[in-house]
Structure 1
C-alpha cells in the first residue's frame, strides 16, 4: 500500500447496514469522489458499511473493478483502495463454514477480463470478415460503425484492465509469476491490440520485474520486441510504442517525462477528457477516411461508365 494511506478496520459501533441496492449506490457515490487527497476520509466511509455477505462483497468488487478499468488515470487510487479491503472476508453463500475474500474475488475478475481480451480479438476479427463480405453500401457502413464502436470499447477496457493489474502487482496483490504469465500470453497473441497492452504493462511494472533472478526472461522478451521493431512488423504506432519501452529499459526504467507527484481531481478529469476526445477524433477520422475512399471509388466508377 502507498505510504500515507491507512488500512482501516471498522469498529462494531460505527458499522452502518444499508439495504443491498442502497449499499451499492453508497459505494458508487464514494468511488465518484475518490482521489489521493480524499482517500483516507472516503475509505473510512467504506469501512463503516456492512459488507457481510457474498452477494454484497461481489457487488462491491464489481463496482470497484468497473470503475478502475473505466478510469485508468485513477488506477493507483483504486489499487490502494483494494489494498485496504484485501483482507475483507465473508461466509460463502453455498458453504457458510468457509469464507471468500475481497482479494480472491477481485483477482478472479481481473483474470476473467484479461482472458476476455482474446475473445474480443476474435469478435473483432469476425466483424472484419463480415465487412469484407458485405455486398451493399448500407451494410458496409453499418458494419464499419459496429467495428469501430466494438474496437473502441474493447480497447478502453483492455488498457484499463492492464493498468489496473499493474497497480495491483506493485501493491503486492499479484505475484511476479502471474505477471510473467501475462507477458507471455500477450506475446503469444501476436495481435496489435495485445502488443499495445504489453507496452502499457511493461511501462508500468518493467522496473519491478527486471530483477537479477528474472533478467534472462526479460532479455528474452526484449529480443522479441527489438526483432518486431527492426522487421517493421505491425503499424508504425505500435512500433513507436515498442521502441519507447526499449528506450525506457535502456534508461534503467526512468521515464524521461517529469513526474510532478499526485494529481488533483481536476487535473485527472481534464487528462481523461482529453484522452477520450482524442480516441473519438481517431474513430471519426477513420470513418471519414473510409467514406472518402468509397466516394472516390464511386466517382471513378461513374467516370469510367460515362467514358465508355
Structure 2
C-alpha cells in the first residue's frame, strides 16, 4: 500500500470513526437522558416488511446508543398518551387547526412499538406517559427542574436548556439555562431565540402559522432570521415581534400573539397551564390580560364539551 492511499484511509477513518471502546464520553453521574419516544415509534418502526421484533430491537438499540453518546447515567422515555389533551392546544388554535394536516398513514409497527415503549419494565429506561400535556411539554418540565440531556428530532425542543443530542448525527450542544442565542455544533439555532423565530415563521410540523405576514411579506425561516438579526436577548426579541404582530393585527395583536405563544411555548409548570406561556416574555399587562381572555375561552369550551359528553 502506498503512502498516499494509506493517508486517505487514515483521514477517512478520522472523519467517520466507528463506534467502539473509547469513542463515547464518560458517564456523567446523575445525568438523565430524556428521550422522545413519540418520534422513536415512527423512526424505529421500519417499513411494512420489518418484523415487529426487529422494530423493538431498533428502538432499544437507539435508546442505548443515544445514552452512550451523551454520557447519561439513566434514561426517561417520554410518550404522549393516546387520549392526551396536548395542553388544550386543539382548543387554543383558531387560525389553523392544531396538527390538522397530520393525515398520513402510520408505519405498520408504530402501534406495537408504542405499546412496548409505554409498558417497558426493564433496566434500560423508565417510561413516562403524559396525559394532560404532550411529551414535548413533559421534557420541558423536566428540563426546567434540573440539567438533562435531550434527544429528539422535534425542532420545538431546541428552545430548552440542557445537553442536546442531534437525532441524526449525535452531535452534542450544551444550551445553558437562560441562554438566548446558541448556535449548535450541528449549525442549528438553540435557546430562547428559537422560540421567537417560531413566533414569526410558525411550525409547519404542528400546523402553527406564526405571523401570516411580516410587514406585508411572507415570513419564512430566512425572513424571520433576518428580522431578529442583532437581537441580544428576550427584551430585544419581544420588542420586534410585538411590533410585527401589531403591524399585522392592529389592536387585536395581544390575542393573536398570545394564541401563537400558547401553541409554541413548551410548558414548564406542573399543570401545563396556559398562563405558563407568559414565561418567555417580559412583564407586559397586554400579554397578561390576553392570557386571561384565552384561559376563559378555553375553559368555557371545555365545560361546553363536558356537557355534550354527558348527554
Rg larger for: 1
Structure with greater proportional strand content: 2
Q: TM over 0.5, yes or no?
A: no
Structure with greater proportional helix content: 1
* TM-score, structure 1 as length reference: 0.27
